[in-house]
Amino acid sequence: MKQVEHTNDERRMLQRVKHPFLVTLWGTFQDSKNLYMVMDFVEGGELFSLLRKSQRFPNPVAKFYAAEVTLALEYLHSQQIIYRDLKPENLLLDRHGHLKITDFGFAKEVPDITWTLCGTPDYLAPEVVSSKGYNKSVDWWSLGILIFEMLCGFTPFWDSGSPVKIYENILRGKIKYPPYMHPDAVDLLSQLITPDLTKRLGNLHGGSEDVKRHPWFAEVTWDRLLRKDIDAPYVPPVRAGMGDASQFDRYPEDHEPYGCTGEDPYADLFSEF
């Protein structure tokens, strides 16, 4: 029943949020076997794919994407929503190169604190790993991990072993910053990827403004970026017209049932679809 609750919560949250850097939910429907969510067609591919091809991003490129994510998190938190699954795989590029955050499967409306262990191991804050109550500040920790990954090509607590080893590294909290990383980036990350909630940017009195005012973001004109009035550093090679999915891996769908008819014993569980 938890999965039912999560699915209905995801639909409700997506229906409520409207922001330039979040996917838009246009509608939902169901047949006798499946649920469907109709969302933006974001044809530029995953940021994950671009990062793997590039190995790592130059400082200005990482800053552009981090700034758009910052604006999206700022909005979600204003709606009392914790995202909880920030990673390159969940960041899509539109045809002009701007980001849209997708996959709200772990997002949750939380006015104060929650205790659920969820998310992707590399990006989890220590208070999540240690099963302590946590708040929206876990998203700012994940932003720090994302920025580090964009600048370095790997996450700071990565381990080739098991998730348990990653959790141990997170709780140990030791990070090696490469010599090529800009000092302002190191300073920002040291204030985002900190286990001390009284020092973590985004969780202080100034909230998201503390993050936006950091020297690493000094060149960002936030209101212009929100209007997408700043050119993206990379424009995906999307073919003219509608429906080009060439920037994504191919997943055969011929075997997937669609428009199934017949008795649906679970229809009442998803009455809002």
pLDDT-derived band at 242 (thresholds 50, 70, 90) equals confident
Rounded mean pLDDT, 130-138: 94
Catalytic residues: 85
45-227 CATH fold: Transferase(Phosphotransferase); domain 1 (1.10.510)
Residue 187 has what pLDDT? 99
Average model confidence (pLDDT) across the chain:
94
Residue 256 has what pLDDT? 74
Per-residue model confidence as pLDDT tens digits over 136-154: 999 999 999 999 999 999 9
Per-residue model confidence as pLDDT tens digits over 45-101: 999 999 999 999 999 999 999 999 999 999 999 999 999 999 999 999 999 999 999
**pTM above 0.75?**
yes
Per-residue model confidence as pLDDT tens digits over 186-195: 999 999 999 9
Residue 98 has what pLDDT? 99
d(CA 176, CA 5): 40
User: pLDDT: is 154 or 265 the higher one?
Assistant: 154
User: pLDDT: is 159 or 72 the higher one?
Assistant: 72
Residue 254 has what pLDDT? 64
Residue 249 has what pLDDT? 86
Q: Which residues, at least 6 apart from 58, have a Cβ–Cβ distance to it below 8 Å?
A: none
Residue 160 has what pLDDT? 86
Query: Which range is least confidently modeled, 29-33, 74-78, 169-173, 191-195?
Result: 29-33
